Chain A
Amino acid sequence: MIDVRNLSYSYSHNKSYAIRDISFEVGEGEVFALLGPSGAGKSTTQGILTGLLPIQTGEGEVAGFDLRHMSRDLFNSIGVSFEQSNVYGKLTALENLAFYRKLFDVETEDPMELLKMVGLDHVANKRAGDYSKGMKHRLTFARSMINKPKLWFLDEPTTGLDPTIAGQIKDIVLKRKQEGTTILLTTHNMFLADQLSDKVGFIVDGELKLIDTPRNLKLKYGQRLVQVDYYQDGELVSETLSLAEAGEKHRLSEIVAAGNIETMHSREATLEEIFIKVTGRELVYNEAD
């Protein structure tokens, strides 16, 4: 469904790249999650794949269409949910969807059904301008499904939503995945990526550092973590150490030798920890997003 090679992109058309030499493939029915901290280049990548940003260097194919010779027909088979909601504030939610569905040549979903799905049916006739941030975001998300896309681009679909609603969104995505929709998910939420994706790609500073399945990653970096809580100068300190690394192994034996241990157990690494290990970078959650 997606096959891109050596994509680089610079907003200022110079040597400062927002993404650099990115290559990956997403097979039909697969869910691929692009993970990375803020500013890593996730949205830029999605922008190129959806034709919103012109391809600069590299090659690619999306849903059978060459990125360099995109046809409008491509858009009948893809759906795009934006990280920043963008709906007509002077129209109601229902009007927003009723308008948007007319822009496609293919069979479309019933707007009211979509609103029900994302829990906006009770405010369907309210102007989107009067919606809260999260409601607008859900409307943007619902709109991206209107043409029953075979390939679905989701940029931060759950960011800024309360956990219950984020859970509902996740369930919708899961359901579509089971129905065979190919999905490119962009997020810095590792739990979401873990639960939804077949493959994850770690992206940092515009570079794709690694691509693998969550399972493989855990096998590789997994069972060797030890979390140890101990007292130091009267205070409880917590450290997570990997037994795979000599330095950390040594550190663990030091703590054990000191003898002030409260608890100690080994556990599976989370994707987040693996990310930090692989990229040396934190996934900073930005509350404002």
Chain B
Amino acid sequence: MLRRILAVTMRDLRSGMRDAMIPYILIAPLLVAVLFKLFVPGVGSTVINVAMPETAEPAFAEYVERYGEVELLEDRDAIVKRVQAMDDLFGIVPKADGGYELIAAGDELTGTVEMVQSVLSSWQNPDLEPPVELKISDMGWELSPLARFGTNFLVVFMSVFGGMIVMLNLVEEKQYNTMAAINVSAIRRWEYVLGKALPGLILPILHAFAVLVIMGFTEVDYLQVAVVAFAIALISMIIGFVVGVYQSEPIGAVASMKILFLPIMASVFGAIFLPEKWQPVLYWSPFYWAYRSVDDIVLQQAAWSDIWLHNLIIIAITALVFALMHKRIKQGMRA
């Protein structure tokens, strides 16, 4: 049983490495990540970004500067405006009573508010220990929005390549008409399907890892990444099957695989740019849920319960797609 499954997988790998397309699909995503990495600006080591009025005490500004980047702005209004922009930035405005007003947009990363607060309180109480913790967590938070969203997008997008490999291997069977020979051998249908699917399930996980490593996210929970990548690989793989069993020519097949691009783009960009109340319009998309999981993972604030919930939704949608498509797949595999 296992022997037959692996025979199918190994045959696909061997045959796949003999033309240009599959090796290209294997490395293209990594090249994209490397290129992307080159263009992501300011992956510095800023812990926190703070805006304060030009009138603030220079010594205070200097003190905060030790922990982060300080921008001096004209007045409180300018600061509020700045805080509302997309990146993570806090406003600190000295109050008349000697205290400080902390302005946050509410969408900051978990923990950063506490950081700012501890910086403030250590300034106000010089006797307190300096906020040591801050220094330690320094590493993980070198996050520009572009790096965050771009990386998440790439991780979700990687699943397409797994589906493409599955598809191309099926196209090869159609091209050479070998499905008939498979159908008169003793291999079970499910063994064959699993053998064909295996690269499409494993590859997106490896690709996701590689993207994260290239982008410098070495501290995220890779097990969580694997679990999410696996779930979206499933749906891409099914699409790979649907397309693959009806195409006998690789270029056309790859072109048909583009049907996946639109939902993925829509899901990712929707998740990033749509306001909270509009997000439900994306709930149908497994890629949306995957994106949300990956976003949490990248921010190192993913709870396993959320990951499982999102995955459950992804798998339910996948099951539905499979239920709709399995007749078509089965028919396509007949000959």
Whether, in the assembled complex, B125 has its beta carbon less than 8 Å from a beta carbon of chain A, the answer is no
Contacts of A86 in B (CB 8 A): 176-178, 180-181
Known: A52-B334, A90-B15, A91-B15. A100 touches B177 (CB 8 A): no
Whether, in the assembled complex, B27 has its beta carbon less than 8 Å from a beta carbon of chain A, the answer is no
Residue of chain A at shortest CB distance from B18: A90
What's the Cα separation between A239 and B316 when bound, in Å? Answer: 75
B19 touches A90 (CB 8 A): yes
* Partner of A76 from B4, B176, B186 at Cβ < 8 Å: B186
How far is the CB of A140 from the nearest CB of chain B, in Å?
8
Q: How many A-B Cβ pairs are below 8 Å?
A: 68
A50 touches B186 (CB 8 A): no
How far is the CB of A7 from the nearest CB of chain B, in Å?
18
Question: What 1/0 mask marks residues of chain A from 82 to 101 whose CB sits below 8 Å from any chain B CB?
Answer: 10101111110001000110
Known: A72-B187, A88-B15, A90-B15. A103 touches B182 (CB 8 A): yes
Question: What 1/0 mask marks residues of chain A from 222 to 259 whose CB sits below 8 Å from any chain B CB?
Answer: 00000000000000000000000000000000000000
Whether, in the assembled complex, B66 has its beta carbon less than 8 Å from a beta carbon of chain A, the answer is no
* Partner of A103 from B172, B175, B177, B186 at Cβ < 8 Å: B186
Contacts of B11 in A (CB 8 A): 88, 91, 99
Dominant secondary structure of chain A at its interface with chain B: loop
| A56-90 interface with B by 8 A CB criterion | 72-73, 75-76, 78, 80, 82, 84, 86-90
Highest count of chain B CB atoms <10 Å: which of A50, A82, A102: A102
What's the Cα separation between A75 and B191 when bound, in Å? Answer: 15
B176 touches A104 (CB 8 A): no
B176 touches A89 (CB 8 A): yes
Contacts of B187 in A (CB 8 A): 72, 103
What's the Cα separation between A140 and B184 when bound, in Å? Answer: 13
B14 touches A95 (CB 8 A): yes
A75 touches B176 (CB 8 A): no
Residue of chain B at shortest CB distance from A128: B176
| B156-188 interface with A by 8 A CB criterion | 172, 175-178, 180-188
Interface residues of B (CB under 8 A from A): 3-4, 7, 11, 14-15, 18-19, 172, 175-178, 180-188, 334-335
**6 nearest interchain CB pairs?**
A86-B177, A103-B185, A102-B7, A80-B184, A103-B187, A75-B186
Sample of 27 A–B contacts (CB below 8 Å): A51-B183, A52-B334, A72-B188, A76-B186, A78-B184, A80-B181, A82-B177, A82-B181, A84-B177, A86-B180, A88-B11, A88-B15, A88-B176, A89-B175, A90-B18, A95-B14, A99-B7, A100-B181, A102-B4, A103-B185, A103-B186, A104-B186, A105-B186, A140-B181, A143-B181, A147-B185, A147-B186
Interface residues of A (CB under 8 A from B): 50-52, 72-73, 75-76, 78, 80, 82, 84, 86-91, 95, 99-100, 102-106, 140, 143, 147
